[in-house]
Structure 1
Amino acid sequence: MSTTVWLNGRLLNITDAHIAPNDRGFLLSDGLFETIRVANGQTPHLARHFARLEEGCAILSLPSPDRTLLTQAVSDLLHTTNLSDGSLRLTVTRGTGPRGLVPPAMPHPTVLIQATASIMTVPTPVRLGLSRYRRDGDSPLARVKSLACLLSVMSRMEAVAVGLDDALLLGTTGAIAEASAANVLFLRGGCLQTPPIADGALPGTSRARLLDGGFCMESCLLPQDLKTVTGAWLVNALSLTAVSSIDGHDLPLHAELDRRLRAFLFPA
């Protein structure tokens, strides 16, 4: 991670960037975040992330940061850090407030942007299991990138503890929703399918691009349907990862389809 961050309108060394102890994001997870890909010094899908952030802010009745301000902040941070390839983490909280659940009538959000350099590589295929935790597709929080990520943290920890790489969470409908930090694509009957939002899937930006581009369609998948799956991938804003097995059921890898998906999502 870069030693320079953008916090509330200022570029600061990370050691000088302080979040107040009574910030509601720290105390109550009262906020949102976006993870934004940086490629060749550019943020090719920044507008999608801003749109999702604004939708999330509206759901939480949280004042949304001004797009012009955020665009300039991203530009300034990329220029200062000389970041070519990697990611930005944009965090917005409701800011400071009095003790208790009720927020101040006139909140002053905290806005933090952090930069991390990375090299774009093809991830090693992963092994998945089914988590005991469930996402509630009827909850408004299922549709936002909330700071409250404990379900994802616990499901990933438990998967790793039994020798797996990640876990698939079911929705309260009983259908598969997503992985701990990615949407999922299933190959069934020669077609790519992804769980619908109603089953608890987060409206991911890469997921939306694949749907818009006609690469996949929404379809419910129950655990017993996994035997009909002939391939799978995890996808988020930063990566596309092939799945080698789910709950001990080995899956073939599809090099050509993987190449096509990767070329669409992350063009050179």
Structure 2
Amino acid sequence: MSVAYLNGRFLPLEQAHVSVLDRGFLFADGIYEVAAVIDGHLVDSAAHLARLERSAGEIDIPLPIPPAEIEAVQKNLVARNGLGEGLVYLQLTRGADGTRDFQPSAAIQPTLVMFVQDKPFLDVPAVRTGISVATTPDLRWKRRDIKSVMLLAQAMAKQAAKVSGAQEAWMIEDGFVTEGASSTAFILTDEGIITRPYSHAVLAGCTGAALTALAEESGLKVIRRPFTVIEALAAREAFITSASTLCQSVVRIDGQAIGSGLPGPVAMRLRELYIDFARRTAS
């Protein structure tokens, strides 16, 4: 039986009920985080907690417990559920009022929920075959740097990608790739590794930040600038990063092969470096 955490209590997941008047449900008035677990330990926890604090501050939701206590709860959930490899999901909303109103009451209390998901990602077929991505217009709001639970546009993009036979969507705005529906997008050219600079237009990926630091430490040049789909199609390699995929080669974009059409050596090497980093620094 899976154990979850809800507002100070550990309880069976199926009993972790949230009010229908919760503003996360009614208005998408909330944020979330997803942290990877490898060998029963949290990966890059400090970065995820820092991003959680930032997102909460940007929409003015107070953390109901300090970050150190949040991490302790996450570790407790990992242990209670016997999770060796997978994810810890966290969602923080503004909470529930006695009625539906755009303006929350002064007495409203945040809702904090966490649960785990058993998900293999270290040794899966996609690592050896690579994945396909499909491009789609970026329909999201203008504050994508906030990890909002408002994920309708991403869900629509994922569904469109699935229909076309792809495993991820790359969202396009003004002719440039912003990011994946649930990942950070990278290409490798003769210039170096290219990825979008941080701004309100994209989410600052924790996995991507760690991976680019590892790339630079290994002597690879990282260039933060927008890139087009045309550039991506002509790239030597393409890949994505996220907590749930780590570093994953992209071998086709809109059905067209990238490079050899197989996972590239640089992305595969970066994946190895990241997994080593994750195991060395996991908490």
TM-score normalised by structure 1 residue count: 0.90
| Counterpart residue identity of residue 204, structure 1 | G
Shift of 1:77: 1.2
Structure-2 change in CA distance of 1:175 and 1:105 (3 Å): same
Give the structure 1 partner of residue 193 of structure 2.
Answer: 192
Shift of 1:200: 2.5
Give the structure 1 partner of residue 266 of structure 2.
Answer: 257
Q: 1:224 aligns with which of 205, 226, 230?
A: 230
What is the distance in 1 between the residues matched to 2:186 and 2:118?
27
1:130 aligns with 2:132: no
Indicate conservation of the 8 Å contact 2:233/2:253, yes or no: no
- Residues paired across the two proteins, number: 263
> What's the secondary structure of 1:113's corresponding residue?
strand
Q: Deviations over 1:2-52 (max 9, x none)?
A: 621011111101122110111111111111111101111111311111100
1:248 aligns with 2:255: yes
| Counterpart residue identity of residue 219, structure 1 | R
Matched ranges for 1:153-164 at <5 A: 153-164=155-166
What is the distance in 2 between the residues matched to 1:174 and 1:62?
34
What is the distance in 1 between the residues matched to 2:232 and 2:91?
36
Matched ranges for 1:1-268 at <5 A: 3-65=2-64, 66-97=66-97, 98-119=99-120, 120-122=122-124, 123=126, 124-135=129-140, 139-140=142-143, 142-171=144-173, 173-189=174-190, 191-198=192-199, 200-213=201-214, 214=216, 216-239=222-245, 240-251=247-258, 252=260, 253-267=262-276
Structure 2, gaps ≥5 residues long: none
Identity %: 25
> What's the secondary structure of 1:111's corresponding residue?
strand
| Counterpart residue identity of residue 2, structure 2 | T
What is the distance in 2 between the residues matched to 1:116 and 1:34?
13
> What's the secondary structure of 2:138's corresponding residue?
strand
Shift of 1:153: 0.6
Indicate conservation of the 8 Å contact 1:33/1:146, yes or no: yes
| Counterpart residue identity of residue 25, structure 1 | G
Q: Which moved more, 1:234-243 or 1:48-57?
A: 234-243
What is the distance in 2 between the residues matched to 1:61 and 1:16?
28
Shift of 1:249: 2.5
Indicate conservation of the 8 Å contact 1:86/1:115, yes or no: yes
Q: Which moved more, 1:86-95 or 1:190-199?
A: 190-199
Q: Deviations over 1:65-97 (max 9, x none)?
A: 411321221122122112122110011111112
TM-score normalised by structure 2 residue count: 0.86
Indicate conservation of the 8 Å contact 1:135/1:177, yes or no: no
| Counterpart residue identity of residue 220, structure 1 | P
- Calculate the aligned-residue CA RMSD, in Å: 1.9
What is the distance in 1 between the residues matched to 2:136 and 2:233?
17
Q: Which moved more, 1:209-218 or 1:257-266?
A: 209-218
> What's the secondary structure of 1:76's corresponding residue?
helix
Shift of 1:220: 1.2
